[in-house]
Structure 1
Amino acid sequence: MTWRMPAETAQHERTWMAFPREGITLGESTSDREEGYAAWTAVAHAVAEFEPVTMLVDPTERERAASMLGDGIEQVEAPVDEFWMRDHGPTFVVDDERPGVLGAVDWVFNGWGAPEWSEWRKSAEHARIIADLVGAETVSSLLVNEGGGIHVDGEGTVLVTETVQLDPRRNPYADRARVEAELARTIGATRVVWLSRGLTRDYDEFGTNGHVDIVATMPSAGHLLLHDQRDPEHPDHEVTHELRAHLAEQTDAAGRRFEILDLPAPETLRDDEGFVDWSYVNHLVVNGGVIACGFGEERADAAAREILEAAYPGRRAVTVDARPLFARGGGIHCITQQQPAVAR
């Protein structure tokens, strides 16, 4: 069998999420926790305007989830500790030789390198739980990887980062060849494009060490949307300049040089913790739409929606305030996982 991960623009059956539960990620104070619950809920409701949403809910949060999510979002009870579904949930794949068959890649998840603060062992089971729920074939992998650490064009090209897949805290014995072979086996990658690093803030204690899904994505084959930090005061100005130069020399699975479209960062440079990694690249493509990160900057948010609608013709971009998500370590793409539609 030959598995292939479809592009995010392919038709979806639904989007999967996990409802927050109390712990270090959600926040220590009541107001912090309420902000977190509200942010995850807002994203779920925005996605549900375009396609079905199914939310895994820890038993301790059952009543709160039912009250906040309402009847329009399916809720499935399952143990939850971390709630970044992109990373600990399944990566869905299809088999073009067996129409109607859905696969679910079960990467090894160790909380982004097994940091002391991360609670991840319950959510590491989500890939298999969801695979069973939807009747998907489980594709087991020994690669420590997260869904936010890869982006595909659906035609064999995948973007990855040296500091993620080759992270010694994740895969101490891996090299490029082993990673590429595993990506070929599990998601059908025939061309792996390596980025040297991610954004600066992502290397902090609570970061992922360079996830690609706040840096670059492929809205269509042969095209790249790239985070563009234009202010030289921000360290990511140099980072994104170097990444752009590198990516301009790369080719996709079909041998094409990428056409790069810059997606400017918002104007805000810092929050209370330091330089921000706010990025419009971290959006979710849904059926007929794009769920875009918003950062409270009317002009920049509107410009991002315009660029996204041009990059994804025929889709309507809507903005959800992502500042509470980024304050906790990620964005809209990080808390969602699309399930592609397959013929039944």
Structure 2
Amino acid sequence: MFRRIAVFVLATCAPLPFGAEPAAMLPRDAHAAVRSEPLVSTPPVPRLDAYGDLRGRRLVLAWTEGASDHASVFGPLLALATLEERPPLVLLVPEVSPSTVRSLVRRHGGDPTNLELVSTPLDTFWIRDFGPQVVGFGGHHYLVDFPYDTERPDDDNVPALLAARFGLAIRPTEMDIEGGHLVVEGGVCITNDDVVRRGKLLGWTKAEVADELETLFGCRRVVYVPALEGEPTGHVDLYVAATGHGRVLVGRYSPEQDATNARRLDRAARQLEQAGLTVTRIPMPSNAERTLFRSYTNLVVLPSAALIPRYLEDRSVEDEAYAILRAELPGKTLHPLVTDELIELEGALHCVALTLPF
């Protein structure tokens, strides 16, 4: 299921090199044409290395009119990302004044010179779901391109755009999965039974889904944890996060909060422990009778910092959650960002950010 969106923005611009500003316009099919170029290939499979968030060096965000409507979230997110050492933050933008974005970054204390603007049409800002996944092989990288909503064609062109920008090959798949459905840690691909359900609708068996994930990402094992009952996106990153070195965070509900989902999260934790991962539980705020699935695992990790959600509507477990995050992310400065507006749209910080290891 696809998240609510604030607005659709349908402008058409060409990608730009670092330091350039949006200018020239291209036909709408320009990005689709990239897919037919020699960049699209099938790289070798042996010794694959799927990059988790903890190894990200560059952040990619999507700026739409919807993002500008939520500048109280995106402003600090942009600013903090630009304070990292180069490589710069990459911001995908439709037709927009560069000075507007740079002024926002400056206003929130960021470095507007550490910002690359790449002009492209966009439908939404949920780049975690429609953006590519990065896999390494033999000292090189390629991008895995998941199919996306046919009603959001501009979002679906972003993997080809980034492949062209960075000179990388694309490895497409027909498997019905979004970026939020997948967490990779310690050679384990963590997804959930929502992906199995989606696959069955297209004639994929559970074993075929696992084979495809192993082939694409080189995982030694695929674990299907339960999806949360009542959560509309079906995404695993709302309750699982990788923290590196074979460690993961798994959300925790008390039986009083939500008995059914408390059991599902307990089961997920057991499954991941049985897969050889070290699991730390982290409390989940109230889901307001399954209307708002607030999460502390839906965070963004940068080389020197972690951008973590803050929910003003429910701070009952915040202190405990932040203490766990400090322990699990040593050496990272934690920056809480108020995320109530995003969670109303069924996502949080991880959902709007894509990390690249180069």
What TM-score range do you get, normalising by the shorter chain? 0.7 to 0.9
How many Å separate the matches in 2 of 1:290 and 1:312? 8
Q: What CA deviation, in whole Å up to 9, does each residue of 1:256-290 have, x standing for no partner?
A: 2x433121123x5539xx63200001011110221
CA distance, structure 1, for counterparts of residue 271 and residue 218 of structure 2: 23
Instruction: Measure, in 1, the Cα distance between the counterparts of 2:244 and 2:57.
Output: 20
Supply the AA of the counterpart residue of 1:38: S
SS at match of 1:281: coil
Aligned partners of 1:246, 1:228: CA distance in 2, in Å? 10
Given that 1:57 and 1:65 are in contact with CA atoms closer than 8 Å, whether structure 2 keeps it comes out as no
Whether the aligned pair in 1 keeps the contact of 2:182 and 2:191 (CA below 8 Å) is: yes
Instruction: Label 1:198 to 1:50 Cα distance change in 2 as closer, same or farther (>3 A).
Output: farther
Aligned partner of 1:104 in structure 2 is 143
When the two structures are superposed, what TM-score results if normalisation uses the length of structure 1? 0.80
Match of 1:276 in 2: 292
Q: Aligned residue for 1:46?
A: 80
> Quick one: distance in 2 between partners of 1:69 and 1:144?
36
Residues 1:138 and 2:170 aligned together:
yes
Corresponding residue to 1:56 among 71, 83, 92: 92
Shift of 1:61: 6.8
Deviating runs (4+, > 4 A) in structure 1?
60-64, 249-252
Contact 1:90 1:107 (8 Å CA) reproduced: yes
Residue among 133, 136, 147 paired with 1:94: 136
Residue aligning to 1:80: 122
* Equivalent pair of 2:293/2:346 in contact (CA under 8 Å): no
- 1:47-84 Cα offsets, whole Å, 9 max, x none, are 22335311100115766434424524221110100211
Give the percent of matched residue pairs that are identical in Structure 1 and Structure 2: 20
Tell me how far 1:37 sits from its aligned partner.
Answer: 3.4
**TM-score calculated relative to the size of structure 2:** 0.77
2:59 to 15, 18, 26: 15
1:186 maps onto 2:216 in alignment: yes
Residue matched to 2:34:
none
Determine whether 1:304 maps to 2:338. no
Calculate the aligned-residue CA RMSD, in Å: 2.5
Query: Secondary structure of the residue that 2:248 maps to in structure 1?
Result: strand
- Counterpart residue number, 1:30: none
Distance between the aligned counterparts of 2:90 and 2:235, measured in 1? 24
How far off its partner does 1:35 sit?
A: 4.3
Equivalent pair of 1:145/1:165 in contact (CA under 8 Å): no
Partner residue, 2:278: 259
**Following superposition of structure 1 onto structure 2, how do residues 15-34 of structure 1 map, counting pairs within 5 Å?**
15-21=59-65, 26=66
Change (3 A) 1:282 1:326: same
- After superposition, the C-alpha distances for 1:267-317 in whole angstroms (9 at most, x for unaligned) are x5539xx63200001011110221101112566434322211211222221
* 1:244-267 CA distance string (max 9 Å, x none): 134314456xx52x433121123x
- For 2:157, the equivalent position in structure 1 comes to 125
Query: Which deviations, in whole Å up to 9, do the C-alpha atoms of 1:84-111 show, x marking residues without a partner?
Result: 111111111111xx21x1211111112x
Q: Structure 1's 67 and 302: CA in aligned 2 closer, same or farther, altered over 3 A?
A: same
Seen in structure 2, the aligned counterparts of structure 1 residues 165 and 88 have a Cα distance that, compared at 3 Å, is farther
Asked if 2 retains the 8 angstrom alpha-carbon contact of 1:166 and 1:175, the reply is no
- Give the 3 Å change call, closer, same or farther, for CA 18–34 of structure 1 in structure 2: closer
Unaligned runs of at least 5 residues, structure 1: 27-32
User: Aligned match of 1:212 in 212, 236, 239?
Assistant: 236
Q: Residue 43 and residue 128 in structure 1: after superposition, are their counterparts in 2 closer, same or farther (change >3 A)?
A: same
| Kept in 1: contact 2:252–2:265 (CA 8 A) | no
2:261 partner SS: helix
Letter in 1 for 2:209: V
CA distance in 2, matches of 1:175, 1:286: 36
The letter of the residue matching 1:146 is E
The answer on 1:287 being equivalent to 2:297 is no
